[in-house]
A and B are shown apart, each in its own frame.
Chain A
Amino acid sequence: MEQASIEMTKVTKRFGRVRALDGVTVSAGPGVTGLLGPNGAGKTTLMRMVATVLAPDEGIVRLLGRDPARAGERVEIRRRLGYMPQEPGLYQRFTAFEFVDYVAILKEMTDRRARHDAVRRALDAVGLTDVAHRKVKALSGGMRRRLALAQALLGDADLLLLDEPTAGLDPEQRLRFREVVSQLPHRPAVLLSTHQTEDITAMCERVFVLAGGRVRFDGSPEALAETARGSVWVDQDRDGGALLSWRMGDGRYRHIGDPPAGAAMAVPTVDDAYLLMVGDAREAREAAA
């Protein structure tokens, strides 16, 4: 059995009176694991904790078999970590090459030639070779996103954390991103936080759904979709009793919720299951309030 790269046990994190994470227990090994959840679900808090930049208030975190609370072990984790934050700040006056080179120095790559080779490989992987010497401030939003991804790919990390990596990318760039992640050598543990259920379906072997700081689901994308079986139906007319409904391209309505008797059930998707799960969580939160 493969050792878990990420292990979190009963982890809690509070910001003032808000519990961003509330007794979260998850583990993930090599391969792509998706982290799905609405805004404020605690995804970024969890990512930052795995990135070793945020400490839990309670609970145990083990990363790559090491304890990030210990200074020496934390440095060892960081040596094997690639991190693309949700809002990756970039030095505007640096060129794309200079910025990735700067991060490579932070990653202790002191040999100039070897470092520059690594920078070129990272920029090439995300398709930025042609603009390597353009200033960051002159890059488009999508290019900056890819630049942030390039710095995370440096050094063949064993633990790769990507927080909303496909936000702001056009469809072609998103496909290119999937290609890059699927071709990573030595199968690292990739934790991918996203709002895009298509990315989960297309890339992830496993998915955690986080809502209100708690893990609502832990399993494969197929198993996630299955949770909505019996709760998705289509009809010619809108059903006011549905939790959610929308008009499809063929003019019919797709509904999620408790189906009426005799409804024409549909094969559920990850999207359906996620909406149902998050909708339930929202209702529960509203009821509690």
Chain B
Amino acid sequence: MSWHVHEDTIDAYVGGRIDEASAFSLEAHLLACASCRDAISTRVDVGDQERIWHGIREQTDRPAVRTAEWALIKIGVPAHTARLLVATPSLRSSWLLGVAGCLAFAVIASRAIGQARTPFLVLAPLVPLIGVAVAFGRPVDPAWEIGLASPTGGFRLMLLRATGVLVTSASLAGAAALGLPRPGWSAAAWLLPSLAVTVLTLVVSSTVVSVTSAASGVGIGWVVGVTVVERLSSAPLAAFGPVAQIAFAILAATSAIVLVGRRDAFERPTQV
């Protein structure tokens, strides 16, 4: 290299008092001139250098924000909580798309067979139920044991993920319900049953039964129960009427109280 940057220019560059075109020219020269790089490095404040490098590392290391995570952050969920939620299999975009497809199918079936909303009302509570079944626990969460040994693990993480699944599923089901024929009060009659069967599943999973087995049992019980009530009753949608809604509310509240009382079972299971 036959020429070197003048010291005044280096001082101006380091001090941020140089115009953009001159800065570009100087930086192009620095790429090929070790002598000028050395000269400039002795003038740059080490603290500034560290801050710049730290900023660059932050930009390059920042984990990619996935679609579901981005949506959660947009509705006000703290970024770190959103990250914990998107590790949940049942909150991934592919799962949510599948759920949306199933609900759309139920709406179409309700319209096609002229059964008003029964297929939809039976299916909607199963959505969060299945979602919760694949939201936590050893079979679906590879890092389950690491999570369990953390201060957020166990009951708190389970509750966070179950709530995330319930809210997301309910939002999708709510949107799908708008497509039902003659939407009225009964278009929302799935909401309390959803809450009740989901919390009941969590309670059952706190025993020796796995969460997937608990969800299967409660899900089958739900379908059989609704079918029997609808067959035996002369009134339409008896399984979703006012009396049934009160029963579901009581079941949900009771299950929630029992769940809190059994929190230790999620923290230190009898078998790992």
| Residues of A participating in the B interface, judged by any CB pair closer than 8 Å | 15, 48, 51-55, 68, 71, 74-75, 78-79, 81, 83, 85, 87-92, 94-95, 97-99, 101-103, 105-108, 110, 112-113, 115-116, 119-120, 132-133, 148, 151
Interface assignment of B157: CB less than 8 Å from any CB of chain A:
yes
A13 to chain B, nearest CB (A): 10
Interface assignment of B243: CB less than 8 Å from any CB of chain A:
no
Interface assignment of B263: CB less than 8 Å from any CB of chain A:
yes
Chain B interface residue count, CB cutoff 8 Å, equals: 35
* Given known A88-B145, A102-B84, A151-B146, contact A71–B263 (CB-CB < 8 A): yes
Interface assignment of B268: CB less than 8 Å from any CB of chain A:
yes
Interface assignment of B141: CB less than 8 Å from any CB of chain A:
yes
Q: Output the nearest chain A residue to B263 by Cβ-Cβ distance.
A: A71
Partner of B84, one of A81, A88, A106, A112: A106
B142 touches A55 (CB 8 A): no
B146 touches A15 (CB 8 A): no
B153 to chain A, nearest CB (A): 6
A94 to B142, CA, bound (A): 12
B142 touches A83 (CB 8 A): no
B270 touches A90 (CB 8 A): no
Which residues of B in the span 93-129 have a Cβ within 8 Å of any Cβ on A?
A: none
Interface assignment of B220: CB less than 8 Å from any CB of chain A:
no
A54 touches B269 (CB 8 A): yes
B146 touches A103 (CB 8 A): yes
B146 touches A78 (CB 8 A): no
Which residues of B in the span 256-272 have a Cβ within 8 Å of any Cβ on A?
A: 263-264, 267-272
A103 touches B150 (CB 8 A): yes
Interface assignment of B68: CB less than 8 Å from any CB of chain A:
no
Which residues of B in the span 144-159 have a Cβ within 8 Å of any Cβ on A?
A: 144-153, 157
Which residues of B in the span 166-223 have a Cβ within 8 Å of any Cβ on A?
A: none
Please name 19 further chain A to chain B contacts, defined as beta carbons within 8 Å, in addition to the given A78-B151, A94-B87, sorted by A numbering. Answer: A48-B145, A48-B272, A52-B268, A53-B269, A53-B272, A54-B268, A54-B272, A83-B146, A88-B146, A89-B142, A89-B146, A102-B83, A102-B84, A105-B80, A105-B83, A105-B84, A112-B79, A112-B80, A132-B61
B139 to chain A, nearest CB (A): 11
B151 touches A85 (CB 8 A): no
Interface assignment of B56: CB less than 8 Å from any CB of chain A:
no
Q: Output the nearest chain B residue to A82 by Cβ-Cβ distance.
A: B149
Q: Output the nearest chain B residue to A109 by Cβ-Cβ distance.
A: B80
Q: How many A-B residue pairs have CB under 8 A?
A: 108
A53 touches B63 (CB 8 A): no
B151 touches A75 (CB 8 A): yes
Chain A residues near B143: list those with CB within 8 A.
Answer: 88-91, 99, 102-103
Which residues of B in the span 54-81 have a Cβ within 8 Å of any Cβ on A?
A: 57-58, 60-64, 78-80
A108 to B264, CA, bound (A): 20
| Residues of B participating in the A interface, judged by any CB pair closer than 8 Å | 57-58, 60-64, 78-80, 83-84, 87, 141-153, 157, 263-264, 267-272
B145 touches A90 (CB 8 A): no
Chain B residues near A71: list those with CB within 8 A.
Answer: 263-264, 267
Chain A residues near B61: list those with CB within 8 A.
Answer: 97, 116, 119-120, 132-133
Q: Enumerate 9 A-B pairs (CB-CB under 8 Å) in ascending A order.
A: A52-B268, A53-B268, A89-B143, A89-B144, A91-B142, A99-B143, A102-B143, A103-B143, A108-B152
A119 to B267, CA, bound (A): 26
A89 to B61, CA, bound (A): 22
A103 to chain B, nearest CB (A): 6
Chain A residues near B145: list those with CB within 8 A.
Answer: 48, 51, 53, 83, 85, 87-89
B157 to chain A, nearest CB (A): 7
A106 touches B147 (CB 8 A): yes
A79 to B156, CA, bound (A): 14
